[in-house]
């Protein structure tokens, strides 16, 4: 964006601000970090510093995409009901994976190393003819960021709180993620089977954290559950479906798909396998996709619950394992379907250049800041 300040340029290009000031000084311009430069001066400095790419370009391309794709209004008559996306959040070991396993009738938890979820899982199931999508997030502290992303694709957050443990630090984090995402919260007060526990303590914790249980006159549904005995599972599902019904989630399946990458990895024999969730439109085999610095043509898609099952198209709220990206897109990156592979490549490459500059800047050897040089 022009005109820009010394700081803007420094941040956009990933180079120390002092380097920019040095160039300016050679031109007889004494600039402070918040002083702005006009277009000519900015271009001159960029050229002097050997930045061959115009930094405004990545922003402009991204802006164009955001404007033309993401924010394109869907005509009312194109909108159709879509499955809710329900994310499990909460403190480590409080039972997120066990609850989800129990809900959808699989067993992932017993196969996890150390019983700790390392990956984001996303599944779509059918219940009474309607779809429901679930996302399970890692609960370990190291995964705060991933969990934050989990909340972003989410319509409803299930906050899992172990009744014997109550609200813990990562429960609080989960609450703030859900609040930031502005999604309804349903509490699963789990491990209710443990003999001698007092659920009142956990309820009081919740209340102290701004989640007033409905049985205490508040607006938060607290469902007592046990992933071991199955107690409360029907109740939990019913509560979630009620919340979903109230919100009437809709999307337009008749447009180019867009969504979010949840995680991805390089798998031998397959290339890049990206777990993505479609948020609007319909994603089809053969589509051109761009996702951050990754792009490609969708070569194949597979069901996330049944990894052998190939899928030709995936509608709104559907998670899939996607083959076809040239490189692994970062988790949390948005993906878009474009009509033109050349445009997808251009966009991906400009992002890649940007990332390279950022990483160069952050590891640069210069420790003198502008403030201590000039102030
Ligand atoms: P992370 O993914 O590591 O954050 O953990 P998680 O929240 O997914 O918890 P997980 O499902 O792995 O369960 C942790 C432990 O609690 C396991 O040993 C489960 O068997 C146990 N557990 C889960 N739910 C219940 C429950 O309702 N009752 C009892 N008694 N134990 C449970
Ligand atoms: Mg887990």
For ligand 1, whether the C-beta of 230 sits within 6 Å is no
ipTM above 0.85, yes or no: yes
Q: How confident is the model at residue 67 (pLDDT cuts 50, 70, 90)?
A: low
As a whole number of angstroms, the distance between CA 62 and CA 95 comes to 39
Q: Of ligand 1's atoms, which has the minimum distance to the CA of residue 190?
A: 27
Asked whether the beta carbons of 311 and 365 are under 8 A apart, the reply is no
Alpha helix stretches (DSSP H) within the chain: 6-13, 17-26, 39-48, 55-65, 96-104, 144-152, 169-180, 199-208, 233-247, 341-362, 370-374
For ligand 1, whether the C-beta of 232 sits within 6 Å is no
Per residue in 269-279, pLDDT (tens digit) is 889 999 999 99
Tokens of 13: 């290009």
Looking at residue 372, its pLDDT comes to 27
Q: Is the dihedral of CA 231, 237, 242, 246 positive or negative?
A: positive
- Whole-number Å distance, alpha carbon 29 to ligand 2 midpoint, is 57
Ligand 1, atom 28: nearest CA belongs to which residue? Answer: 191
Most confident of 27-31, 180-184, 325-329: 325-329
Judged against a pLDDT cut of 50, whether residue 375 lies above it is answered with no
Per residue in 133-153, pLDDT (tens digit) is 999 887 665 556 655 555 578
- Whole-number Å distance, alpha carbon 284 to ligand 1 midpoint, is 37
Looking at residue 33, its pLDDT comes to 87
Looking at residue 364, its pLDDT comes to 35
Judged against a pLDDT cut of 90, whether residue 244 lies above it is answered with yes
As a whole number, mean pLDDT of residues 85-101 equals 94
Rounded mean pLDDT of the chain? 85
The rounded radius of gyration (Å) of the Cα atoms in the chain is: 24
For ligand 1, whether the C-beta of 95 sits within 6 Å is yes
> Global pTM?
0.79
Residue 94 in marked binding region:
yes
As a whole number, mean pLDDT of residues 69-90 equals 90
Ligand 1, atom 14: nearest CA belongs to which residue? Answer: 93
Phi/psi zone of residue 28: left (φ > 0), alpha (ψ -120 to 50 degrees), beta? left
CA dihedral angle for residue 11, residue 15, residue 16, residue 21, rounded to 10 degrees: -90
Residue 137's DSSP bridge partners are none
- Whole-number Å distance, alpha carbon 102 to ligand 2 midpoint, is 12
As a whole number, mean pLDDT of residues 105-118 equals 71
């Amino acid at each position: 964006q022009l005109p820009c300040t010394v700081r803007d340029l420094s941040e956009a290009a990933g180079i120390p601000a002092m380097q920019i000031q040095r160039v300016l000084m050679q031109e007889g311009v004494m600039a402070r970090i918040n002083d702005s430069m006009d277009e000519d001066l900015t271009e001159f400095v960029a050229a002097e510093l050997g930045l061959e790419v115009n930094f405004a370009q990545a922003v402009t391309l991204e802006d164009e995409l955001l404007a033309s794709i993401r924010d394109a209004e869907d005509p009312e008559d194109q909108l159709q009901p879509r499955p809710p996306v329900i994310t499990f959040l909460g403190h480590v070991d409080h039972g997120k994976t066990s609850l989800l396993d129990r809900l959808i009738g699989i067993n992932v938890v017993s196969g996890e190393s150390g019983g700790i979820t390392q990956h984001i899982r996303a599944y779509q199931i059918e219940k009474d003819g309607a779809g429901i999508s679930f996302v399970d997030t890692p609960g370990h502290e190291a995964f705060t960021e991933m969990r934050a992303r989990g909340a972003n694709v989410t319509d409803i957050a299930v906050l899992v709180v172990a009744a014997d443990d109550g609200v813990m630090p990562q429960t609080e984090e989960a609450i703030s993620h859900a609040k930031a995402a502005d999604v309804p919260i349903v509490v699963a007060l789990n491990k209710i089977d443990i003999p001698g526990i007092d659920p009142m303590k956990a309820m009081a914790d919740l209340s102290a954290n701004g989640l007033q249980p409905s049985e205490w006159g508040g607006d938060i549904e607290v469902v007592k559950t046990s992933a071991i005995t199955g107690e409360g599972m029907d109740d939990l599902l019913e509560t979630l479906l009620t919340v979903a019904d109230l919100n009437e989630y809709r999307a337009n399946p008749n447009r180019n798909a867009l969504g979010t990458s949840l995680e991805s990895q390089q798998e031998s024999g397959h290339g890049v396998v990206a777990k993505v969730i479609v948020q609007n439109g319909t994603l089809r085999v053969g589509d051109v996709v761009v996702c951050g610095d990754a792009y490609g043509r969708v070569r194949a898609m597979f069901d996330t619950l049944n990894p052998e099952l190939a899928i030709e198209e995936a509608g709104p709220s559907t998670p899939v394992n996607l083959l076809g990206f040239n490189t692994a897109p970062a988790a949390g990156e948005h993906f878009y379907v474009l009509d033109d592979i050349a445009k997808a490549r251009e966009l991906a490459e400009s992002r890649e250049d940007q990332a390279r500059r950022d990483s160069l800047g952050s590891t640069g050897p210069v420790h003198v800041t502008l403030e201590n040089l000039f102030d």
